Amino acid sequence: MVLLLSWAAPGQSVAPAPVPDERTRPARIRSGELAEFETLPQARQRLLGVALGVAWDSPWLRYVAGGAKPGDGGFDCSGAMHFVMREAGLEPPRSSGAQLEWLRKNGRLHSVDANARDLKHPSLAALKPGDLLFWAVTEPDGAVRVHHVAMFLGLEKKDGRPVMIGSTDGRSYRGQKADGYGVHDFRVPKADSASRLIGYGTPPGVGEE
């Protein structure tokens, strides 16, 4: 990050110069860049195709609190997943917490062990491209609150990098922080992170095979 300084004559004060926002439009990739795409069942291919297509077919969709369609100028995290799934012919609820419960009630939710740190952990063995991913924080009163949802895309062909798609303000892809809907690196939070990956699963209406 570049520190911008403003100079003033002796005895004068001046406000600091604004620092440019380093966040950019999120990355976009094609389905052919995903290692497993051609081998996936048709319903999963359709879901991923819709998710990737929204990023390619739209202008820069920034992170917008309450945003649930491109006409809002962008999405929040659950609004993005709601729009994508509706476009794919599914009937999801709107909020991230309700989307997690939707999976749970339909027997689709897999819990992630608190000790998981990467995709090699046994609790992530059932994760498939097209699955929803849920992050949560623990409130001071002990309540667990789901605060983020995204969709797992799988691994990139060129180097096996795990990636996801969704709307966020600040997550990164290959070192570049971004703002809005697009492709981001998939990482399991570190042990000292306040946020934890708590679960994942296939949206009802898409086969689990």
Task: Give pLDDT, residue 203.
Answer: 98
Task: Give pLDDT, residue 21.
Answer: 57
Please report, in tens digits, the pLDDT of each residue of the chain (209 residues total): 444 433 444 444 444 444 455 789 999 999 999 999 999 999 999 999 999 999 999 999 999 999 999 999 999 999 999 999 999 999 999 999 999 999 999 999 999 999 999 999 999 999 999 999 999 999 999 999 999 999 999 999 999 999 999 999 989 999 999 999 999 999 999 999 999 999 999 999 999 87
Contact 166, 184 (CB under 8 A): yes
Tell me which amino acid residue 184 is: H
Domains of the chain (ranges plus CATH)?
31-201 (3.90.1720.10)
User: Looking at the DSSP assignment, which residues form a beta bridge with residue 165?
Assistant: 151, 183
Alpha carbons within 13 A on the beta-carbon side of 51: 33
Inter-axis angle of helices 42-57 and 77-87, nearest 10: 120
Is the model's pTM score more than 0.85? Answer: yes
